[in-house]
Chain A
Amino acid sequence: MSRWTVPRGTTEMSAQERRLLDWVQRLEETGDNAGHPLMEEFRTLAAEHRKLMRQLTKIATISDRMHTDSRQMAQVLHAAAQTDPLTQLPNRRHMIERLESELGRIARHGGSFTLVMVDIDHFKAINDAFGHAVGDTALVETARILRQNLRGHDLCARWGGEEFLILLTETDQEQAKTVAEKLRRLVDDHRMRVEGRDIHITLSLGIAAHRPDWTADACIQAADDALYAAKRAGRNRWAA
């Protein structure tokens, strides 16, 4: 293989390499340079230089692949870190991040949102009576019903064991009551068939509309308080 044949491989010759080759050729064609004793030295130097150029390109290409790989892996991990593995709903961490960004948005551009804290009634009794596998299925089913009956820009997260937290964007307290009643009724009307048994579950829901000076914690606390009001009032209902 002559020194100046294009090396094997798919990497195309760069403009920089081309300039180097042209340079050597120009020198050889000038006067009687071709026979000059330094010409051979110069060719060797140019070849070394070209090898380094190619190596640099190669290193950058491989390094880019590594970085792309790592970035994609980071994205997958980020998504996993924000998702509840059982229900595939966003998890608590995701909800807190979204709540903070929603508060930021409202502070800048105005607007409102309402939180609905949802709890499955007597969930412990379901677990105790039918076992945890049935309890898990009830959680998954409930999560599906909640998610399917909300708008795309609302966020429904698994907040804790049998608790879900729903963020309704651009929604006031009155509109949220309609949503809460719809979700309550859908779950109440639904019969889950799990391992040959009919499981009937009901929800209690607490509604709290955001108020201008509230922190994220204050909003959540208000929704939680409303939820306990609904529980005390007899469950399978919402309170605001």
Chain B
Amino acid sequence: MDSLRIEATSCSPLIDFDAEAGTLRIEGESYPENSFDFYAPVFSWLEDFLKEPAPAVVLDIGLSYLNTSSIKCLIDVLEMLDTANAQGRPASVRWHYDRDNDRALDMAEEFKEDVTLPFDILAR
């Protein structure tokens, strides 16, 4: 399966999904004009990827700003992984936040709250 890479812009994050290694990375700021359009290829890639038998999946997230529709998209991404994890496909999340920003930590906790897969919140 092909990997997925979308370069970052000033208003959209880097998407770097390596199918072979099972490492997924979302990094930057997310307030594209149309979040649902932006994340559509992410969803379809993930859907295909999670269908195939493959090694454990690790999602690294480093997002410092998300608009409301991006929050919705990210919750959906987490839910896809959470479902896969519950069905026996090991998946985990590492959330990287800026240690100088207390609110960034609170926000990570909010994302973590409703999923059951391993979810590490790491200061950087």
The tally of residues in A whose CB lies under 8 Å from a CB in B reads 17
A65 and B110 contacting across the interface, CB-CB below 8 Å: yes
Given A58-B75, A59-B75, A63-B68, are A11 and B113 also a contact pair (CB < 8 Å)? yes
| Complex Cα–Cα for A66 and B71 (A) | 10
| Complex Cα–Cα for A63 and B67 (A) | 7
B72 and A59 contacting across the interface, CB-CB below 8 Å: yes
B111 and A62 contacting across the interface, CB-CB below 8 Å: yes
| Complex Cα–Cα for A55 and B106 (A) | 17
Main secondary structure on A side of the interface with B: helix
**Set of chain A residues within 8 Å of B107, measured between Cβ atoms:** 62, 65-66
A8 interface residue per 8 A CB criterion? yes
**Set of chain A residues within 8 Å of B66, measured between Cβ atoms:** 62, 66
A54 interface residue per 8 A CB criterion? yes
| B residues apposed to A, CB below 8 Å | 65-68, 71-72, 75, 101, 103-104, 106-107, 110-111, 113-114, 116
Query: 18 interchain pairs (CB within 8 A)?
Result: A7-B114, A8-B114, A11-B113, A11-B114, A55-B75, A55-B114, A58-B114, A62-B66, A62-B71, A62-B107, A65-B106, A66-B66, A66-B67, A66-B71, A68-B103, A69-B103, A69-B104, A70-B65
